Structure formats: C-alpha cells, structure tokens
Amino acid sequence: MKNYLHISDLNNLHEVVKGAIELKKSPLEYQKLGKGKTICLLFFNNSLRTRLSTQKAAQNLGMNTIVMNFGSEGWQLEFEDGLVMNQNKSEHVIEAAKVVSQYCDIVAIRAFAGLKDKVQDESEIILNNFIKHATVPVINMESSIGHPLQALADAITLEEHKVLHKPKIVLSWAPHPKALPHAVVNSFIELMQFQNAEFVITHPVGYELDPKIVKNYKVEYNQEKAFENADFVYIKNWSSYNDYGKVIPQDKNWMITSDLMKFTNNGKFMHCLPVRRNVVVTDDVIDSESSLVIEQANNRTYSAQIVLKKILENIE
C-alpha cells in the first residue's frame, strides 16, 4: 500500500483486521521494520487519540516520530496556486510538503472540514496538496470527508465483539452544541460495505448525509424503531449536510439513554470519542458494560500499526 486515504485503500479488509488482531497480541514483533524510519505527523486540528495512538504505533514498529501543530506552531500555509502571497500566509504547501518529505519516510495529516464551504471541503485542499507535492507516502488522520484510521479501529472492535448471527448495526445521530464534521460517519458508512450486517442509519429530519455515501442504506427517522434488536449502536453527532455545517435546533431527545438502549438486543454502545457526557450519552450508558469506547480507542493503535506496517513493507 502506498497511501492510506480511504478505508477502500485496504485491499482485503478482513485480512487487515485479522493482521491487526495478531499485532495486538505481540505489538513489538516488527520492531526491525521501522528501524531508522521516521513518520511526521502534521496537525491542523486538535487530537488526543490520533496523535498518541499513531505515535505509539510507530514506536511499536521501531520508528521515530516528529510532530507539528500548525494551529499554534507552524507557519500559516497557502494552498491556492498562483496567488500573490501578500496577506497572512507565510509559506506555500508546494515548498512545505517537499521540505517535510526530506525529514521523514511517511507523512500523516489531520485537516478537518471547515464546514463553511462544501465545495472547498469536498476538494480536500490540504490533504490533496500534500499528496500532490509530498514525495513520501501520505496517511489521512481525519480529513474533510473521511477518518479511515478510526473506521479501521471500529472494524477491529466489531470483529472482537462479533455475534453468532448476522448483526444489526445502527448508526445514530446524537445532539451536540457545536457543528461537527461528517468524516467519522462517512468512513463508518463506507466500512459497512465490507461487513455482513443489517445496517440502519437514524437521525432527525434535516441531518441527511451525503447521498453519494449513504447510497441505498436504510434511513429510519424513528430512533427507537431503529434501535430495535440492534447488536451495535454507533453514535456520532454531525452537522447538517444540506444546510451545510449548520446546527439545526437540537433535538435533545436523541441523547443516548439506558431507556433507549433497552430497545436493543443487549446492544453495544460505540463512539469514536471525544464525547460530551450527558449531552450525547448519559453517564450510565457510557459507564456500562455495554460500552466499547475505551476498547475502540485502544484499537486505534493497532489500526495505525497495521497501516504503517503495510506502507513500510511497500517502501522497503
């Protein structure tokens, strides 16, 4: 594998998930693979899990990591071509990507959707410019439209908790005071093409997702009905896609409570984190035995590690 930008970059998801579960048993087995290699993590947005788990994954493979936070440390980068750069942007991505490529063997980028301009977000201007100008492989650590390292961690978690029957998996919107991106849910929906599951999406009217991603999956506007007999409920807030980036008056009734979980088949609660307690989900649900959130976060290490392993094997 050269770059990891979408979940579909993995040739055989089931093999990759199995490989990640093997790595989890002996994480230091491939220390030699990354020896003398460096990954550079570039953040245009905040992070806890992605930053630390990717760094941990690299360390498990014997790699070095260098990190840069553009919000507080780096020069403001320009991504548009052909401009007279006489405003506040100090450096163009053309030079920045080439320079960074000289310091590392893999570059990983986090650049969220701005949620102001759909066309600009969908052009993935930051990620695509790094792909264009960098001379090393690129990993997506959450771009405008996808979070494939999270989706792979979720696939590992689903596999570890698989049920004997064909599972019912529900993706549910939940309330949040701030406008959040669609990347996590887009990648989770993309993951569903590789799962043998009944998949249902539920959200209030007005929160319809990109139809190019939702395709023919079932959308159920009644949350309780959607939760009926679910084996896994994957919870995430997102802002409106049609009224792009807007928070429409919040429906607080969509918060995940133990009463709602009673509709499920003893279902597992999943969330990528960070999560706002008692806004998105009540304490008793996230603290219950059904909650997989800490395991999901743990699997971020093995998701990143299997991706790094595949890329390193390709550049050796």
Return residues touching ligand AN0 (CB under 6 A): 180-181, 183-184, 272, 274
Residue 152 interacts with which of ligand CP, ligand AN0, none, CB < 5 to 8 Å by class:
none
Phi, psi of 86 (to 5 degrees): -105, 15
- C-alpha 50/C-alpha 112 separation (Å) is 13
| Cis peptide bond upstream of 137, omega within 30 | no
Could you say which of 10, 111, 256, 272 contacts ligand CP (CB under 6 A)? 272
| Residue 78: CB minimum distance to ligand CP, A | 25
Residue 48 interacts with which of ligand AN0, ligand CP, none, CB < 5 to 8 Å by class:
ligand CP
- C-alpha 77/C-alpha 89 separation (Å) is 5
| Residue 142: CB minimum distance to ligand AN0, A | 6
Contact region with ligand CP (CB under 6 A), list: 22-30, 42-50, 259-267, 281-289: 42-50
For 60, residues 6+ apart whose C-beta sits below 8 A from its C-beta are: 23, 27, 28, 30, 31, 301, 305
Could you say which of 50, 59, 60, 282 contacts ligand CP (CB under 6 A)? 50
154: closest CA among 117, 124, 197, 209? 197
Q: Closer to ligand AN0 at the Cβ: 264 or 301?
A: 301
Q: Closer to ligand AN0 at the Cβ: 150 or 282?
A: 150
Q: Closer to ligand AN0 at the Cβ: 4 or 30?
A: 4
Contact flag: residue 48 with ligand CP (CB under 6 A): yes
| Residue 24: CB minimum distance to ligand AN0, A | 21
Contact 257, 296 (CB under 8 A): no
For 45, residues 6+ apart whose C-beta sits below 8 A from its C-beta are: 71, 110, 111, 112, 142
Contact flag: residue 298 with ligand CP (CB under 6 A): no
**Token pair for residue 123?**
């052009």
Could you say which of 71, 177, 211, 274 contacts ligand CP (CB under 6 A)? 274
End-to-end CA distance of the chain: 12
**Token pair for residue 11?**
């040739």
Q: Closer to ligand AN0 at the Cβ: 50 or 101?
A: 50
Could you say which of 65, 140, 150, 305 contacts ligand CP (CB under 6 A)? 150
Contact region with ligand CP (CB under 6 A), list: 87-95, 124-132, 197-205, 270-278: 270-278
- C-alpha 288/C-alpha 153 separation (Å) is 21
Residue 8 interacts with which of ligand CP, ligand AN0, none, CB < 5 to 8 Å by class:
none
54: closest CA among 90, 4, 91, 12? 4
Q: Which residues of this protein are in contact with ligand CP, per CB under 6 A?
A: 47-50, 142, 150, 272-274
